[in-house]
Amino acid sequence: MTEALVSKVWSFCNVLKDDGVSYGDYLEQLTYLLFLKMADEYSRPPHNRKFDIPQKYRWNNLVTKRGAELEAHYITLLQEFSQKSGMLGKIFLKSQNKISDPAKLYRLVQMIDRESWVKIGTDVKGEIYEGLLEKNAEDTKSGAGQYFTPRPLIKAIVECIKPEPEKSIADPACGTGGFFLAAYDCLTNKNNYQLNKGQLEFLKYRTFKGWEIVQNTARLCLMNLFLHNIGDLDNLPPVERADSLIADSGLRFDYVMTNPPFGKKSSMTFTNEEGEEESEDLIYERQDFWATTSNKQLNFVQHIHTMLKIDGKAAVVVPDNVLFEGGAGETVRKKLLETTELHTILRLPTGVFYKPGVKANVIFFDNRPASKNPQTKEVWFYDFRTNKHFTLKKNTLKFEDMKEFIACYNPANRHNRKETWSDNNPEGRWRKFTYQDILTRDKTSLDIFWLKDKSLTDFENLPEPDLLAEEIIENIQSSLESFKSIISKLNQYRQ
């Protein structure tokens, strides 16, 4: 039954695609209709829950209509629900009907009506929705890939952090909720914990808190969490639609795991007196920040430090520039090394993100109480980039690929680690550098590599031509992004 249902939802997605309805549009409409159907199921025995949904807009009314009447009713319903409060209002905020053919809308309503969604296992509902989110991320024209972090990477990060029950988990740029779902799976895995009733309730209502700046992405995240049994229709939603960088919320968390959006600069576009569009760097003036900068990634690192409890732990995906940029970058790195224990850096390979040209890393740091002495004593690096070749189609990143790093990280006791690199094993990917080693580097740079790139010397064992071509494209796109940033800066100086 599970496979048949997944196949049914997928195939209808392709039917709508022929009408110009994108994966993203389909996801939205599926979100609205699934939400209504599940609210209807929860309102019946044995649940008997009451919802603030007027009788005329309930599922049993929608399902009886067809043609132009159905389309008109659906449009009115979306407008009505967008005015509501709580989870209902958040999911339907600024909602619109994107299915212009009433016959296809009717077929989608009937397909959803035939299933009892509340009875279907959380894993099945989640599998369907997560699958659609990934398909949407693959649609490069939509730009949705920047809100979707590869799930094997998220799972590996959560395995390393190993969140504990009855502790809070935040994501200031939560996208479609990948880190929350992986943490939920980790906490509900009976091999990790046997949760009691109180712990399960904490997990459902009080563990997660997210912020997402893009309305449609926040909507998809809320529905994704709801389908995975996080939060419910009656309580305040666990995700806020807001720019989390604007101010310190005052909330403090045990864990922050996040992949902030790619793109180096925060900026605003406005029209000048001549009617031409200009962009201006957006700078966040915050007392709790170590440095004032328009570099969005550096701002997120500072913001995450503020969000942590005194013993909180963080894992953050950051682009290479965070590791080597001077000025504000150097200030942030020095402060991070002094005030937190920045213990691990994972250098990620190219070809794993849906936004091309991205060279990224994961930095792991634990917050510490104020001290005269620097909190970081040594930083462990895992070079997962040199001589690794991944693509989004032929050679995708799998969780198994991350297992060596997880073993080196040693989540059970990260203070008991052993380098795989040595003079006798120069190919080892796991190596530590002391605080003093890093301080002596230009600009306190953390952009450290030691492995030789075999493609520069071993011409007989080069990757397949298509893999090489994709890597060349990635490098060119990464360079183009850097040049665009330089040109933007030069244009501002001219003005």
Each residue's pLDDT tens digit, 312-341: 999 999 999 999 999 999 999 999 999 999
Q: Does some domain include residue 136?
A: no
Rounded to 5 degrees, φ, ψ at 254 are -75, -35
Residue 211: pLDDT band by 50, 70, 90 thresholds? very high
Question: 312: domain CATH number?
Answer: 3.40.50.150
Question: Are 106 and 187 contained in the same domain?
Answer: no
Asked whether 298 and 329 are in contact (CB, 8 A), the reply is yes
Question: 97: domain CATH number?
Answer: 1.20.1260.30
> Is the pLDDT at 489 greater than 60, yes or no?
no
Residue 358: pLDDT band by 50, 70, 90 thresholds? confident
Q: Does some domain include residue 494?
A: no
Asked whether 295 and 262 are in contact (CB, 8 A), the reply is no
Q: Does some domain include residue 492?
A: no
pLDDT average, residue stretch 275-303: 82
Q: Does some domain include residue 414?
A: yes
Question: Are 279 and 383 contained in the same domain?
Answer: yes
**Gap between the terminal Cα atoms of the chain:** 63
- The angle subtended at Cα 93 by Cα 90 and Cα 96, nearest 5°, is 140
Q: Does some domain include residue 304?
A: yes
Where among 65, 91, 120 does a domain terminate? Answer: 120
d(CA 408, CA 158): 15
pLDDT at position 116 is: 86
Asked whether 220 and 95 are in contact (CB, 8 A), the reply is no
pLDDT average, residue stretch 142-171: 87
Q: What is the dihedral of CA 248, 250, 253, 259, to 10 degrees?
A: -20
> Is the pLDDT at 432 greater than 50, yes or no?
yes
Among the residue ranges 21-30, 31-40, 267-276, 365-374, the one predicted with the least confidence is 267-276
Where among 86, 120, 154 does a domain terminate? Answer: 120
Question: Are 294 and 210 contained in the same domain?
Answer: yes
Q: Does some domain include residue 134?
A: no
d(CA 378, CA 339): 13
Question: Are 87 and 152 contained in the same domain?
Answer: no
Question: Are 295 and 158 contained in the same domain?
Answer: yes
- C-alpha distance from residue 270 to each of 9, 265, 273, 280, 343 (Å): 42, 16, 10, 8, 42
pLDDT average, residue stretch 39-55: 83
Residue 470: pLDDT band by 50, 70, 90 thresholds? low
Closest CA to 356 of 203, 168, 143: 143
Each residue's pLDDT tens digit, 218-255: 988 898 888 888 887 777 789 999 999 999 999 999 99
> Is the pLDDT at 141 greater than 80, yes or no?
no
Residue 417: pLDDT band by 50, 70, 90 thresholds? very high
Question: Are 405 and 317 contained in the same domain?
Answer: yes
- Roughly what angle, to the nearest 10 degrees, separates helices 23-42 and 2-17? 130
Q: Between β-strands 208-212 and 253-258, what pairing exists: parallel, antiparallel or unpaired?
A: unpaired
Residue 176: pLDDT band by 50, 70, 90 thresholds? confident
Residue 127: pLDDT band by 50, 70, 90 thresholds? confident
d(CA 458, CA 450): 17
pLDDT average, residue stretch 257-285: 61
pLDDT at position 72 is: 95
Question: Are 106 and 151 contained in the same domain?
Answer: no
Where among 55, 90, 120 does a domain terminate? Answer: 120
Question: Are 397 and 277 contained in the same domain?
Answer: yes
The strand pairing partners of 239, in sequence order, are: 210
pLDDT at position 305 is: 98
pLDDT at position 485 is: 61
Q: Which residues form the domain of 338?
A: 141-480
Question: Are 65 and 166 contained in the same domain?
Answer: no
Long-range contact list for 96-101, CB < 8 A, 24+ apart?
A: 97/29, 97/71, 98/21, 98/25, 98/26, 98/28, 98/29, 99/16, 99/19, 99/21, 99/25, 99/29, 100/19, 101/19
pLDDT at position 353 is: 81
Each residue's pLDDT tens digit, 59-103: 999 999 999 999 999 999 999 988 887 778 888 888 999 998 999
Question: Are 418 and 471 contained in the same domain?
Answer: yes
d(CA 133, CA 221): 10
- Other Cβ atoms closer than 10 A to 325: 21
Question: Are 282 and 177 contained in the same domain?
Answer: yes
d(CA 477, CA 482): 9
> Is the pLDDT at 270 greater than 80, yes or no?
no
Count of structural domains within the chain: 2
Q: Does some domain include residue 456?
A: yes
Q: Does some domain include residue 95?
A: yes
Question: Are 346 and 298 contained in the same domain?
Answer: yes
